[in-house]
Structure 1
């Protein structure tokens, strides 16, 4: 488990009394921060500003769904093989990889983070890493994708010590293809606020340096993620869970059931 991060101070002009950070998560330790501070400083200009979200029409083939309270779908689509065919993600070296290559020859759990600076995403990384041994035992890869740059992904990987693979999606194209929800109303909720406080009490910290980088502020501040289980096979997506709000998580047992070898 990595050491807790120190909260980065924000410029005075950016301070406000808003409780919930609007942007992605960084992380990261299970221990409370030394000062025990639960203060959240959020740039009011980001909250006031208008966010732009690009919506595209994609299909997705889903054969199993989560029983948890997030957004899930049973819709079977003929576009399963083409919905993500133009999507590429970047590995930590900056190499572009077709997203299908992550699971075409293996089964994988792919988690989609809100953003690389988000405190809740550091928690998600640990949430999934807690079952890494079980996934390894049945030959299932663990992957996390974040909407951001390769440099942001590298910082996230170093901070969290994530035990799986990490990829960046600077264009947010995978999020659009999978129709993950986005918006202020899905970010500022009572439940999300409580989960952020819980994360801070456990020692996780928002990385404001990552959160306020241009790519995140302009495109990803209100983005929610999700988790899929896919492969082997390009169009074989056996489980999809779409976060309904910031901090939403599926039942880990649902994920493991979707990963279990079929008789």
Structure 2
């Protein structure tokens, strides 16, 4: 497919504004297209490879030890392959650990789709993702995080202590986000997480990307006719 000639500038839509599409932050994919990301074998690819030939839903996680990111990616793993194929979209997760942490994270979460790492956090930084947590009492908690903060943090610490390579698998202060882009430099949606519970609901992201089905993540995914 040929990339579409469109403006590479988009505006962030905050969770609370998603119904009316109120804009707040501008980004340019030209600033990050040549940043290198790495697959599970340590092989580098430019970031633009993820979206230049088609539409992609790209999820940036905090770190691979983060309990809320683990539970969010567990729900991403429940998305049926057919739903992505029918909408002709790619689903990609990006972390900021070393590449050798990818396999254990995929084994832990059951995540079967594409995953890369940005160990230098180049893409994170250039897209303006937050590096500190900010909690708002009125903010909606992620529907994909089942653990409470105290038990979740204990679980993360235990995983760090029992890991064959003891490290924190990324900057603990770095927050994640979500991006829907492509084909070419076109950006359909961009969101920066403000804290570990500020993930965009998966169904909403999928519908923005063109998926015509709604999934039930309460137990196991069931397709509901829309």
- The normalised TM-score by structure 1 is 0.62
Which residue of structure 1 aligns with residue 52 of structure 2? Answer: 104
User: Given the alignment, which residue of 121, 130, 138 partners 1:181?
Assistant: 130
1:131 equivalent in alignment to 2:85: no
Q: How does 1:1-263 map to 2 (within 5 A)?
A: 61-62=9-10, 66=13, 68-69=15-16, 74=23, 80-133=28-81, 134-183=83-132, 185=134, 197-198=147-148, 205-206=155-156, 207-209=159-161, 213=167, 216=170, 220-233=171-184, 235-260=185-210
Runs of at least 5 residues in structure 2 that lack an aligned partner in the other structure: 1-7, 212-226
Q: For residue 198 of structure 1, report the CA deviation from its aligned partner.
A: 3.6
Q: What SS class does the counterpart of residue 155 from structure 1 fall into?
A: helix
Q: For residue 224 of structure 1, report the CA deviation from its aligned partner.
A: 0.6
Q: Which has the higher contact order (CA 8 A, sep 6+)?
A: 1
Given that 2:77 and 2:110 are in contact with CA atoms closer than 8 Å, whether structure 1 keeps it comes out as no
Q: What SS class does the counterpart of residue 23 from structure 2 fall into?
A: coil
Hey, what's the Cα distance between the residues in 1 that align with 2:35 and 2:70?
A: 24
Q: For residue 108 of structure 1, report the CA deviation from its aligned partner.
A: 1.0
Q: What SS class does the counterpart of residue 114 from structure 1 fall into?
A: coil
CA RMSD of aligned residues (A): 3.7
Q: How many residue pairs were aligned?
A: 194
Q: For residue 155 of structure 1, report the CA deviation from its aligned partner.
A: 1.7
Given that 1:66 and 1:250 are in contact with CA atoms closer than 8 Å, whether structure 2 keeps it comes out as no
Runs of at least 5 residues in structure 1 that lack an aligned partner in the other structure: 1-59
Hey, what's the Cα distance between the residues in 1 that align with 2:180 and 2:49?
A: 14
Q: For residue 169 of structure 1, report the CA deviation from its aligned partner.
A: 0.8
Q: For residue 185 of structure 1, report the CA deviation from its aligned partner.
A: 4.6
Q: For residue 158 of structure 1, report the CA deviation from its aligned partner.
A: 2.1
Q: For residue 183 of structure 1, report the CA deviation from its aligned partner.
A: 1.7
Hey, what's the Cα distance between the residues in 2 that align with 1:155 and 1:176?
A: 25
Q: What SS class does the counterpart of residue 82 from structure 1 fall into?
A: helix
Hey, what's the Cα distance between the residues in 2 that align with 1:191 and 1:68?
A: 8
**Structure 1's 238 and 183: CA in aligned 2 closer, same or farther, altered over 3 A?**
same
Hey, what's the Cα distance between the residues in 1 that align with 2:166 and 2:132?
A: 17
Q: For residue 128 of structure 1, report the CA deviation from its aligned partner.
A: 2.2
Hey, what's the Cα distance between the residues in 1 that align with 2:193 and 2:94?
A: 14
Which has more radius of gyration?
1
Hey, what's the Cα distance between the residues in 2 that align with 1:67 and 1:130?
A: 25
**Structure 1's 66 and 191: CA in aligned 2 closer, same or farther, altered over 3 A?**
closer
Hey, what's the Cα distance between the residues in 2 that align with 1:129 and 1:70?
A: 27
**Structure 1's 165 and 132: CA in aligned 2 closer, same or farther, altered over 3 A?**
same
Hey, what's the Cα distance between the residues in 1 that align with 2:155 and 2:17?
A: 24
